[in-house]
A and B are shown apart, each in its own frame.
Chain A
Amino acid sequence: MRISTIRYTVKQGLRNIARNKMFSIASVATMAACIFLFGVFYSIITNFQYLVDKAEESVAIVVFLDEDITKKQKENIEKKLSKREEVLEVKYISADEAWEEFQKDYFGENSDAAEGFDVNPLEHSDNFEVYMKSVEKQAELVEYAEGLEGVRKVNKSELVADALTSVNMLIAYVSGAIILILLAVAIFLINNTVNMGITIRKEEIAIMKYIGAKDSFVRAPFVLEGVIIGVVGAAIPLVLLYFAYEKAINYILTKFTIFSTILNVDFLPASEVYKTLLPVGLLLGVGIGFVGSFFTIKKHLKA
């Protein structure tokens, strides 16, 4: 393609947008509404996933060690567990620490009740607390840990692990379905608006074809127009959502203090959500603009 043709295509694409202001505004608004909804759902789902991930990270299996275990064996177990892909952190809890934790959990403020114990009743309860990245692989990890030399027993929390795994799957299905529905709606709406715009310019396309314009020559300005509308239609809601997100998080945390105080919940910062949302949102805008205009104009290029 010649530079003059590229220049002509760009100029024509921009002119088309300016010339059909109402159509362009309608298309941008449609795209913006779809991307905004997508952004809202994405933010909710990502935060939900973040909370579940955090909950998963707090679930640990406890690996109890043999009474006569040597220091070298302990180190060996720690090393082997740490190397596992699903393991986030391996924390050694000595017998004293285990007893302190026990007192805190069971006696609370009545620490006097523990004074009757002269020796540590949990003397042989030193263990490794193993935190996982995802609880889905808990069973596998437990089986592995039980097989290690020097391991007496492994305690696990199957109920929590199963519940978290189910929630995870539910989030995946729901988010997948919502995103698919939104995409289908977006493509349908963009297709309709582009179709409307092309119908207005049907005569112009026919003239181009009579003169001997190639399909690509006729199509290029329309596709460029679609892509520009896509980028603008995606950029506007993404910028708006960025500021709305920060405000919404602040509002939730200040208005519903239960989240931060009792549930100890925090939300992802906008910058973290936007690491994925920004490129995906823009790509969606460009993709929908491109696909919508490319296939709609194809119908008019047959003659």
Chain B
Amino acid sequence: MIELKEVTKEYAKGIAALNGVSLKIEQGEFVFIVGDSGSGKSTLIRLLLKELEPTSGKITVMGKDLGKLKHKAIPYYRRKMGVVFQDFRLLQDRNVYENIAFALRVTETPTRVLKKKVPAALSLVGLAQKYKSNPKELSGGEQQRVAIARAIVNEPSILLCDEPTGNLDPVNSWEIMKLLDEANQRGTTVVVVTHNHEIVEAMKKRVITMQKGNIVSDTKKAVRKS
């Protein structure tokens, strides 16, 4: 599903955010990527979104070599991925319903389909009653649930989450993790970048640890070795 081969990303000459990283994530996996600030976690997410180009190496996602993906094909590639950010990134001038509908509008989904899918996604995240609310009227946890609904409404193959609980209290963090786990149960591959060790330990999923642009441990490999 996701494969990185010797991927290096240098922002400035000689300073590598990723240093020859190789990694494989299978379809349907739930993977945590942990590490300190500057370890290269967010760079990895941005490379997978094709927001950045690697300095060297090869990235293959859903069978597509991202190096060969043309600018025009990027939107279609991104539509197969859901993205969740730490700061939610909701469109502040639109209500909850419109924020989720927006993900369907960009794919030119017919209105009649949109009218079914948006309430269904809202129900999945438990916000069916708040569809008219403005993002500013919601708590942090609720805003992140809207962001998750927007990310899953297109039924993506991969869900990329960059510090999804970074701005949330422990109760809301667990709520969000539960939603991500449910998405994974439905067959979506989930990649979560996080600092939250408590959640990582409790969830008992595959954990990749990064340090200074390198993968220093991967529980999947550790399991295999043992």
Contacts and interface: CB of A to CB of B under 8 A. Distances in A.
B111 to A, nearest CB: 5
A207 B91 contact: yes
Interface residues of B, number: 24
A217 interface: yes
A4 B111 contact: yes
Contact of A213 (B75, B150, B154): B75
Given A19-B93, A212-B107, 9 more contacts: A5-B108, A8-B105, A207-B90, A207-B91, A211-B83, A211-B102, A211-B150, A212-B78, A217-B75
Contacts of B79: 211-212
A210 interface: yes
Interface in B99-118: 102-103, 105-108, 110-111
B137 interface: no
A209 B83 CA distance: 11
Contacts of A303: 51
Contacts of B89: 203, 206-207, 210
Interface string A179-208: 000000000000000000000000110111
Interface of B: 49, 51, 72, 75-79, 81, 83, 89-91, 93, 102-103, 105-108, 110-111, 150, 154
B75 A212 contact: yes
A20 to B, nearest CB: 10
A209 B51 CA distance: 10
B17 to A, nearest CB: 17
A235 B10 CA distance: 52
Contacts of B91: 204, 207
A224 to B, nearest CB: 15
12 contacts: A1-B108, A2-B108, A208-B106, A210-B83, A211-B78, A211-B102, A211-B103, A212-B103, A212-B154, A213-B106, A215-B72, A217-B106
Contacts of A217: 75, 106
A62 B100 CA distance: 83
A4 B51 contact: no
A1 B105 CA distance: 12
B112 to A, nearest CB: 10
Nearest to B49: A210
Interface string A205-229: 0111111111101000000000000
Contacts of B102: 208, 211
A2 B112 CA distance: 13
Contacts of A4: 105, 108, 110-111
Contacts of B78: 209-212
Interface in A19-43: 19
A211 B85 CA distance: 12
A8 B106 CA distance: 10
Contacts of B76: 212
B75 A5 contact: no
Interface string A74-100: 000000000000000000000000000
